[in-house]
Amino acid sequence: MSATLGSVTRLRYAAAACALAFVATTLVAAQPSAAVGHLAPAAVAGVPRPDHIVLVMFENKKFGDIYGSASAPYLNTLAATGALFTQSYGITHPSQPNYIALFSGSNQGVVGDVCPKTFTNRPNLATQLITAGFTFTGYSESMPSDGFTGCTAPKYARKHNPWVDFTNVPASANRTFAAFPTDFSTLPTVAFVVPNLCNDMHNCQVLTGDKWTKAKLSAYANWAMTHNSLLILTFDEDDKTSVNQIFTLIVGQHVQPGAYAEQINHYTILRTIEDAYGLSPLNNAASAAPITDCWQ
């Protein structure tokens, strides 16, 4: 009799162990794929967590140069299908401190375009993402090679490529735009795209940048709308006025199309990305409110 009870008890323990193992396996499998063996931080309430964000930065055009312009038909089509921010502003002039500000929440003391700049182990979006188990890559058009650290090349300027300035961002995160994948599911969690000095409208017309955007990014914009991903398109600064109002839009799944009139800037964009992935806001992004009203 006791032998029989002992067998039953052993069977019950075995069954319980199997059940616990199944639950543990299920929980591990349910963790975000961005961080194997690492529990990724939760998104902040009010901001969704996209699988991918692609942020594209253009150059030196005021809001009215783009919105409603016959020279920007594709950008206006995107604005009609996404969230257009009618009160978006650059941080300062000239270009370089705006890029650094969006990437790190601070201009890091930079007030001009002099290159190179080197920031030793200072916090930035890329290292935040990587530390939390996510991924980051910057793609620069016309950069001569992956990992390039030179200041200039034909149609390329390092002043528009802030991740190169931070010593704690791996060289492998600094890619040419030729490496931008056609299988968008293989994109990093967050990607920054910098068109070259013509296609970003710095040295060429608005129509040139508009055509480039349609040719190079329309496929991703369409894909993002059905694959829990976002395209954020903005400008570094306007055409050097004191107003510094720029064109900014967000397109993708879970975006409620419309015009949004709250005042935003580069720190707002950074804060929104950080909140999406549960990251602590950096520097001036800590005092910026994230965008919460354009999500379905």
pLDDT tens by residue, 114-157: 999 999 999 999 999 999 999 999 999 999 999 999 999 999 99
Q: What is the pLDDT of residue 40?
A: 79
Q: Averaged over 216-239, what is the pLDDT?
A: 98
Q: Averaged over 205-211, what is the pLDDT?
A: 98
Q: What is the pLDDT of residue 70?
A: 98
Any idea which residue has 């993402």 for tokens?
Answer: 129
Q: What is the pLDDT of residue 26?
A: 35
| In the predicted structure, residue 196 carries a pLDDT above the cut 90 | yes
Domains (ranges, CATH) in the chain?
46-287 (3.40.720.10)
Lowest-confidence region among 4-18, 63-77, 257-271: 4-18
Q: Averaged over 80-106, what is the pLDDT?
A: 98
Q: Per this entry, what is the length of the chain?
A: 296
Q: What is the pLDDT of residue 38?
A: 56
- Could you tell me which residues are beta bridge partners of residue 83? 250, 258
Here the tokens at position 143 are 């950069």
Here the tokens at position 135 are 């991924």
Q: Which of 35, 239, 230, 13 is nearest to 133 (CA)?
A: 35
Cβ atoms of residues 43 and 34 within 8 Å = no
Q: Write out the H or E segment, with its range, that includes residue 203.
A: none
Q: What is the three-class DSSP state of 286?
A: helix
Q: Averaged over 17-32, what is the pLDDT?
A: 36
Q: Across the chain, what does the average pLDDT equal?
A: 90
Q: Which of 85, 81, 107 is nearest to 94 (CA)?
A: 107
pLDDT over 90, % of the chain: 85
Q: What is the pLDDT of residue 9?
A: 41
| In the predicted structure, residue 2 carries a pLDDT above the cut 60 | no
For residue 21, the one-letter residue type is: A
Q: What is the pLDDT of residue 100?
A: 98
Q: Averaged over 53-64, what is the pLDDT?
A: 98
**How far apart are alpha carbons 52 and 228 in whole angstroms?**
7
| In the predicted structure, residue 16 carries a pLDDT above the cut 50 | no
